[in-house]
Structure 1
């Protein structure tokens, strides 16, 4: 199933999504056009980002595969939903998208073995790890300022149950800017797999329900500017779309 959170008729609501129709637990149905605000399908407990997990992206940046997963924390204050604006910071010269498969944890775990890792997964969604490259002065330790701005964490539009994507190891990702294809990759090219990441992270950090692990982005990052529209697609999940506005207009 595909789960959503949204605002319609002035109320926060939840439901399941199928072919453009959302059905609430009470059985009421909404067409997409009736949605006032798309909310992130998950309220993250914590967001754990991963740098340099696609070999072609590492090559793109002129870097070697790290000896172990390179992690960072994305603040919850960065999270916005489908169609919400992303604000371009004043003074930035190189801001870009990062299309990432987001793994949502479903149960608490510590010292999880990789062979049992999927027992702790609830499902998957799309995350855009928006980054200002100007503020990255050490590629292996992405600074908070580069990735932690308000609105730099679009998530959605749906959360897909893991059972509905039985083979997550061969999923296509595509990113369009103003309908132009800019980025394309496949999860088969992850250098550290989802079970390996869950094992590694849980070796020193308790994973809790609602936690999200962003699994990295493939080659193809490029500049985006106010007025652009980013559209991130992941097969089996859907499409996450967000416009970029000038940060000086933010209220």
Structure 2
């Protein structure tokens, strides 16, 4: 697995399990992670071993979000049958998608800031696998998924659940408070097509697993999500799809939330108000 990331000061990085090197030391014509996304999608991104310097361990670095600017931010609701049952919701026959504004994004270590209690008294956190697009595309077949996707991230998504429960038309507002999307620090770029079906996604709060399921149990797997939405609109490098959660957990100030996506990564953030 390769990784694309940025330092907290915005310097683009290329990494592997041993650590990170400046992206320009391997790809001298690339000035940003965003510019590297097409090469990540088509398999031509260079290797850390090609850098003239030794990689720096991740523990010695402070990371920002992997992209300075993401593109469209899509979310997929009720994408595990078990989670839909928990919410007494009917299984959707098509992806139950929604969009979030870019202002929901916060750094990979948070914090998650809850809205004032006058606006919401019950916020939930949800671990999800996110797919990041690497190429501009339209009307993509599911079999071409690996050719247009740059890589994968763990993300923590939030919902003002009491707002949503008042009226399902309030979904956009319930999902759109500042800091209501925490991306992982490193975009995981598989060196070969990755079998996502056997991987698990876990929502953890204060070290306790609140929900866990395998990607194989999604109603609409990632390839179908990308293909479906590419029939609606053009997809572009940096667009992100949060592919749904195995389950949500109520969070309060002082909690610590973690999303764990097997073989992809972990992102963790404290909760404040």
Q: TM-score, normalised by structure 2?
A: 0.82
Deviations 1:209-230 (A, max 9, x none): 11011110113x2211001110
**Mind listing any 5+ residue stretches in structure 2 that lack a counterpart?**
26-52
Contact 2:65–2:183 (8 Å) recurs in 1: yes
SS at match of 1:200: helix
Q: Distance in 2 between matches of 1:165 and 1:141?
A: 38
For 2:72, the equivalent position in structure 1 comes to 46
Does the alignment pair 1:4 with 2:11? Answer: no
Paired positions, count: 241
Q: Distance in 2 between matches of 1:89 and 1:68?
A: 31
Does the alignment pair 1:213 with 2:241? Answer: yes
Structure number having the greater strand percentage: 1
Q: Distance in 1 between matches of 2:54 and 2:99?
A: 37
For 1:249, the equivalent position in structure 2 comes to none
**Mind listing any 5+ residue stretches in structure 1 that lack a counterpart?**
247-251
Contact 2:164–2:170 (8 Å) recurs in 1: yes
Structure 1 residue 49 displacement after superposition: 0.7
SS at match of 2:153: strand
Structure number having the greater helix percentage: 2
Moved more, 115-124 or 130-139: 130-139
Q: Distance in 2 between matches of 1:18 and 1:195?
A: 25
Q: Distance in 1 between matches of 2:130 and 2:253?
A: 25
Q: Distance in 2 between matches of 1:12 and 1:41?
A: 9
With over 3 angstroms needed to count, the CA separation of the structure-2 counterparts of 1:132 and 1:31, relative to structure 1, is same
Deviations 1:141-195 (A, max 9, x none): 5622111111111001210113356201221112221111212111010101222
SS at match of 1:119: helix
Q: Distance in 2 between matches of 1:77 and 1:127?
A: 15
SS at match of 1:129: strand
Does the alignment pair 1:191 with 2:216? Answer: no
Does the alignment pair 1:181 with 2:179? Answer: no
**Equivalent runs, 1:140-155 vs 2, <5 Å:** 143-155=171-183
Structure 1 residue 48 displacement after superposition: 0.8
Does the alignment pair 1:80 with 2:110? Answer: no
